[in-house]
Structure 1
Amino acid sequence: MTETSVGRRRRWWIVGAIVAAVVLVGAAGAVYFAVSSNAAVSVALVPSSTPGANPFTATVASATPDAADTVVQKSAQLRKTLPVAKATHTPVATGTTPGLYGGSGDAQVCDPQKLVSFLTANPAKAAAWARVLGVRAKNIGAYVASLTPVILNSDTLVINHGYRNGAATTLVSVLQAGTAVMVDATGTPRVKCNCGNPLTAPQPLSLTAAHVVGKRWAGYAPKNVIAVKPGASGGDLQLVDLGTGTVYQQAVGPVTALWAAASWSTSTGTSIVDQTEVWTSADGRSWAHVATVPHELISGLGYANGHWVAVTLPPVFDVPQSDILTSADLRTWKKAASVPGQLNGVAFGGGRWEAVGDAPAGSLGYQSQAGGAGIVYSSSNGSDWRPVATVADTSKYGLTGLSSVAYGDGRWTAVAGIALAPPVKVYGSTDGEHWTPQAADALENQTGGAVTYGSGTWLINANTHALPDPLTFTPSPTDGLADTSTDGASWQTAPAAGLEGTRVEAAGYGSGRWLVATEESDLPNPMHALVGSRVASSSDGNTWAMIGQIAGPMGAIGYGAVPSRGGATAPPTTPSATPSAAPSPTPSPTAAAGSPQCSADLLKAARTRAGLDGTIDHPQCSGTWAIAAVILQQSEITAVFEWVDGAWTVRSRNNVCAENLLPADLVQLGCHSN
């Protein structure tokens, strides 16, 4: 979400102040302005929550958060810098002005495909709709695909075209700030999302002289209503995140808003995790598996400027070095960098990426403090990284490294904490390079700690501390906590209703709510490959509801977008990936494609093709699924197989059990054994 310079401004000249309002729409939708002060003009006030008169369609707007106070303040400051039409005293903004429009973390605030589908099914409305915008009805799909869904940050003057008696209507309107619209590449509003109405640009006019119809909302004032003129199309728009106030770069055209999660799994069926499974969800409830990232354990996930950045844990018993990965679509990942230390979290803000973690003792000139030291890396593009700070702590507890980082309202906040021992420490920075302790003793008896920012509130999801059983060393149950702050320095702690008996492992914020991934807090082995994570949601940070489940222990949760595929609102579910396999050196036995044959030899052949070893014992089959005990050199595991194209294929046990794919007679042994 980088900030770039304002696009080139086109010369714009105003024709006579008393000329009647004229809006000419050409075949390409170009708009020409004239200025009017005609008191006879009628202007409708349209609140953001209402479709207004004569809607073309049902709403195609998505749920969006209210603008944080810092966004409201920045929008007011921006209006003061706009040129004002002398004859009408109307502020006029160029459509590509950075921060003119808002979004919910670079995500979708309207559903373009829903609009296209409706118009396709209603040819008469489609013809009228297309005529307003100067496009052919058969090209509506392509035209809508070129628009970008945004949120108005200021009350905005438009010509609003409804539909009545088989034809488009025309009404000069003021759309309230907070209204979801779609804009073209010049930043000109073209569609009002909660009614589907096409929009065209009006002439600036004097609202104090016009006949205004409709109830005025709180904060409405004629001097604060802006008009928008086309900007220079540069391939992207600079929007402001309504929750954090961060200005970020949005590619022109629709994107698919989604949650992303990274869980850990095993490629061999053992209890040792060695790869990451990537999941996506439109609502946090239903999760689709989209990728397997081999040989990497993703521990932090962030999104900005059209790409995702992930940080990973170092390999066990290897050089303490973490990889940094990037992806545009969450399906294909590439390694951008490797850095010394263990990275635990990543976020974007203020024009830069920040990754935090544990500094290796003695590396990069850093000296290991009692308990360790935190490390901070920074990047302007997500690919080139440099160390910018260490955070050393000499308190009685020492420091275990930084576990999470977030940006909001012009400042950074990072926390240090581990899963089973207190405290949670908080650090703040305004530039990402100079860090100071915050609320040193406020979170002294808490463990873990994942920090996020949204809707003007900092939130740390931490856990209560309970000593393990002194005889068995089994962890005692803990409860989730909600630490909140409005400034990042002073924190208040409260029980998180709905997170009792859980341990929070990852957290994210997007589209007006928080999501956390939790594990049952009394599990004896939180790193076990078969442990599933439950997903909880909250709109206020205090009251939580369990809404979903993901296979495996959780590494990270994030919110962002991927390029839309044909206007789809959610990525398609893909088959769960299996470990990459070397070709078998000898022909593998198969059976007839029509009927699965359940034998140890066939299941053994499936593991051989997958590059896995072990002896098959006690195979059990039901339909197109099979489970079997696999005897390894020093252990025994349960493996899952699926009959595909006339042969058995090894399937990820985590994914199969999480998606409830096994027949009922195989579930107990397949999903609840070792």
Structure 2
Amino acid sequence: MTSEPPSEQGPTGPPSGPLAGHGGGPSSGAPEPTRPDWPSTPPGAPAAPGGPGRPGGTGEPSGPPPGEPPGGGQGRWWSSAPRVALLLGALVAAAALTIFFLRQSGAGAGEVYLQPATADGQDPFTRSTAQGYSASAAQAAPGTPPSPGAGRTVPGSTPGLYGGSYSAPSCDVERQIGYLTADGSKANAFAGALGIEPAQIPGYVRALTSVQLRLDTRVTDHGFKDGAATGFQAVLQKGTAVLVDDRGMPRVRCACGDPLGPPSPANGTPKARGGGWDSYRWENTVAVTPADAPLTALTLYDPTSGRWFERPAGGTGDTDRAVSRPGTGSSQSSAPGTPPPNTSPSTGGGYSTPPASSPSAPPATPVTPTPPTAPPPPAYGPAHR
């Protein structure tokens, strides 16, 4: 069997299949690359008019892919920029709100400054005018019960809430007035914290009653710094000498001359700063609330002698009057020096005046309570920091 010899003439057309369009020869048309890195124009061949990527050129398409705006990726980024800005703004706002609410929720807990009975305290207004038994009272408050929680409040009219030494003041009122009025900037700051005029300081302070705390008490204290009163939350140790108004509210801390106000509400247990004491427990602190009506006298307890006595409003000790223990024969006061919690306040101190003498105290001449000579102190505004 014979076969024909191969033809000497080559193929007359381009091969079929994937290699079509890559045959050599002028009539094969423009080459079509099969990889992006292959040149669209063979070496040595003139470039097509318009160049790659332009109408009439070869290689890259003459327009953007379907669905993509002119300019490629840059056009897509700028078209979504407003959306990105809105998203970033929402994230920043959410973070700011989170920080705000966290601070608000912890504002009440925050910090509280512990002030022992005889300590100068933070940024004191004046030198100490405390006197009497302040140091020993901190260790001699029999029958003081633990509080059922730091939210406990006690009316300022509660018998035995405050103590003192019979016939002896807890604070040198006249010296306190002298310190405050000797410095104009301190007088202005002191008066501003209490809502009075500087000229009213002498009459206002003289109308206050000199006592000692018998429970660790929460207050808004005001130090003196850079010519102004600076409010901060504080706990005053039992035994601290203070001056209280005719509603039973602490108004001046005698160890430093600081004006006092009601405490801010507390949420949780605040971080304690300053000097502490062994018996301090945040859950055992109390806040004093004002009596419903002005008091003509306060019933105090002397932890050193065990006496109960009555001190007229504005009294400093020389008008004290011995009385029997409030609630005798009832369950109101089960132990000496135990302030009954949440006692309903009433005019005249919230108690019935007992006989003028008792087995525990020597007879005393009754003294008619003398009302304060100065107008009643203005109501203290909301506590500020």
TM-score (norm: length of structure 1) = 0.33
How far, CA to CA, are the matches of 1:19 and 1:148 in structure 2? 41
Structure 2 residue 179 is the aligned partner of structure 1 residue 118 = yes
Query: Cα distance, 1:160 vs. partner?
Result: 0.8
How far, CA to CA, are the matches of 2:249 and 2:235 in structure 1? 15
Of structures 1 and 2, the larger Rg is shown by: 2
Query: Cα distance, 1:60 vs. partner?
Result: 1.1
**Alignment partner of 1:58 out of 113, 116, 127:** 127
**Alignment partner of 1:228 out of 262, 269, 288:** 288
Counterpart of 1:151 in structure 2 is 212
Structure 2 residue 148 is the aligned partner of structure 1 residue 90 = no
How far, CA to CA, are the matches of 2:255 and 2:368 in structure 1? 21
Query: Cα distance, 1:50 vs. partner?
Result: 0.4
How far, CA to CA, are the matches of 2:145 and 2:188 in structure 1? 39
Counterpart of 1:194 in structure 2 is 255
How far, CA to CA, are the matches of 1:248 and 1:131 in structure 2? 34
Map 1:225-304 to 2 at 5 A: 225-232=285-292, 233-257=294-318, 304=321
Query: Cα distance, 1:54 vs. partner?
Result: 0.7
Counterpart of 1:170 in structure 2 is 231
How far, CA to CA, are the matches of 2:138 and 2:227 in structure 1? 41
How far, CA to CA, are the matches of 2:295 and 2:272 in structure 1? 36
- Residues 380 and 203 (structure 1), Cα distance of their counterparts in 2 relative to 1, 3 Å cut: closer
How far, CA to CA, are the matches of 2:354 and 2:154 in structure 1? 28
Map 1:329-348 to 2 at 5 A: none
Counterpart of 2:273 in structure 1 is 213
**Structure 1 stretches lacking a partner, 5+ long:** 1-17, 22-35, 259-302, 306-347, 353-378, 386-404, 409-451, 453-555, 568-674
Of the structure 1 ranges 188-197 and 96-105, higher mean CA displacement relative to structure 2 is found in 96-105
**AA paired with 2:321?**
A
Counterpart of 2:244 in structure 1 is 183
Counterpart of 1:323 in structure 2 is none
3-state DSSP of counterpart to 1:90: coil
Displaced runs of 4 or more, over 4 A: 18-21, 379-382, 560-567
Query: Cα distance, 1:217 vs. partner?
Result: 0.8
Query: Cα distance, 1:20 vs. partner?
Result: 9.0
**AA paired with 1:304?**
R
Contact 2:297 2:311 in 1 (8 A): yes
Structure 2 residue 221 is the aligned partner of structure 1 residue 160 = yes
Counterpart of 1:407 in structure 2 is 360
Aligned length: 246
3-state DSSP of counterpart to 1:141: helix
**Alignment partner of 2:141 out of 41, 63, 72:** 72
- Residues 222 and 380 (structure 1), Cα distance of their counterparts in 2 relative to 1, 3 Å cut: closer
**Alignment partner of 1:43 out of 112, 117, 130:** 112
Is the helix fraction higher in 1 or 2? 2
How far, CA to CA, are the matches of 2:158 and 2:130 in structure 1? 23
How far, CA to CA, are the matches of 1:60 and 1:247 in structure 2? 24
How far, CA to CA, are the matches of 1:50 and 1:215 in structure 2? 8
- Residues 565 and 158 (structure 1), Cα distance of their counterparts in 2 relative to 1, 3 Å cut: closer
Query: Cα distance, 1:557 vs. partner?
Result: 12
3-state DSSP of counterpart to 1:132: helix
**Alignment partner of 2:160 out of 85, 96, 99:** 99
How far, CA to CA, are the matches of 1:68 and 1:48 in structure 2? 7
How far, CA to CA, are the matches of 1:60 and 1:189 in structure 2? 16
How far, CA to CA, are the matches of 1:37 and 1:561 in structure 2? 49
- Residues 563 and 118 (structure 1), Cα distance of their counterparts in 2 relative to 1, 3 Å cut: farther
Query: Cα distance, 1:207 vs. partner?
Result: 5.5
Contact 2:108 2:265 in 1 (8 A): no
Contact 2:190 2:259 in 1 (8 A): yes
1:425-444 deviation line (CA, Å, top 9, x unaligned) = xxxxxxxxxxxxxxxxxxxx
3-state DSSP of counterpart to 2:181: helix
- Residues 74 and 195 (structure 1), Cα distance of their counterparts in 2 relative to 1, 3 Å cut: same
- Residues 380 and 565 (structure 1), Cα distance of their counterparts in 2 relative to 1, 3 Å cut: closer
1:118-148 deviation line (CA, Å, top 9, x unaligned) = 2222111101100000000011111112211
How far, CA to CA, are the matches of 2:261 and 2:244 in structure 1? 10
- Residues 43 and 407 (structure 1), Cα distance of their counterparts in 2 relative to 1, 3 Å cut: same
Query: Cα distance, 1:380 vs. partner?
Result: 5.1
Contact 1:105 1:242 in 2 (8 A): no
How far, CA to CA, are the matches of 2:220 and 2:131 in structure 1? 23
Query: Cα distance, 1:93 vs. partner?
Result: 1.1
How far, CA to CA, are the matches of 2:175 and 2:312 in structure 1? 20
Counterpart of 1:273 in structure 2 is none
How far, CA to CA, are the matches of 2:302 and 2:220 in structure 1? 26
Instruction: Compare relative contact order (CA 8 Å, sep 6+) and give the higher one, 1 or 2.
Output: 2
How far, CA to CA, are the matches of 1:151 and 1:141 in structure 2? 21
Query: Cα distance, 1:248 vs. partner?
Result: 2.6
Query: Cα distance, 1:74 vs. partner?
Result: 2.4
**Structure 2 stretches lacking a partner, 5+ long:** 1-100, 328-352, 375-385
1:84-112 deviation line (CA, Å, top 9, x unaligned) = 5xxxx421111111111111115311111
Query: Cα distance, 1:113 vs. partner?
Result: 1.1
Map 1:581-660 to 2 at 5 A: none
Query: Cα distance, 1:236 vs. partner?
Result: 1.6
Map 1:424-443 to 2 at 5 A: none
Query: Cα distance, 1:195 vs. partner?
Result: 0.4
- Residues 214 and 561 (structure 1), Cα distance of their counterparts in 2 relative to 1, 3 Å cut: farther
How far, CA to CA, are the matches of 1:143 and 1:19 in structure 2? 40
3-state DSSP of counterpart to 1:142: helix
Query: Cα distance, 1:169 vs. partner?
Result: 1.1
Structure 2 residue 61 is the aligned partner of structure 1 residue 108 = no
- Residues 557 and 238 (structure 1), Cα distance of their counterparts in 2 relative to 1, 3 Å cut: closer
How far, CA to CA, are the matches of 1:147 and 1:138 in structure 2? 16
Contact 1:101 1:150 in 2 (8 A): yes
- Residues 221 and 56 (structure 1), Cα distance of their counterparts in 2 relative to 1, 3 Å cut: same
1:273-296 deviation line (CA, Å, top 9, x unaligned) = xxxxxxxxxxxxxxxxxxxxxxxx
Contact 2:156 2:247 in 1 (8 A): yes
Query: Cα distance, 1:242 vs. partner?
Result: 2.2
**AA paired with 1:67?**
A
Query: Cα distance, 1:254 vs. partner?
Result: 2.9
**AA paired with 1:164?**
K
1:44-91 deviation line (CA, Å, top 9, x unaligned) = 11111201111111111112262397x6232226x45xxx5xxxx421
How far, CA to CA, are the matches of 2:290 and 2:103 in structure 1? 21
Work out the percentage of aligned pairs sharing the same amino acid. 33
Contact 1:256 1:563 in 2 (8 A): no
1:466-518 deviation line (CA, Å, top 9, x unaligned) = xxxxxxxxxxxxxxxxxxxxxxxxxxxxxxxxxxxxxxxxxxxxxxxxxxxxx
**AA paired with 1:190?**
R
Query: Cα distance, 1:564 vs. partner?
Result: 12
3-state DSSP of counterpart to 1:76: coil
**AA paired with 1:97?**
T
Query: Cα distance, 1:229 vs. partner?
Result: 1.4
**AA paired with 2:127?**
A
Of the structure 1 ranges 60-69 and 107-116, higher mean CA displacement relative to structure 2 is found in 60-69
- Residues 207 and 252 (structure 1), Cα distance of their counterparts in 2 relative to 1, 3 Å cut: farther
Counterpart of 2:61 in structure 1 is none
Contact 2:314 2:372 in 1 (8 A): no
TM-score (norm: length of structure 2) = 0.56
Counterpart of 2:79 in structure 1 is none
Is the strand fraction higher in 1 or 2? 1
1:606-659 deviation line (CA, Å, top 9, x unaligned) = xxxxxxxxxxxxxxxxxxxxxxxxxxxxxxxxxxxxxxxxxxxxxxxxxxxxxx
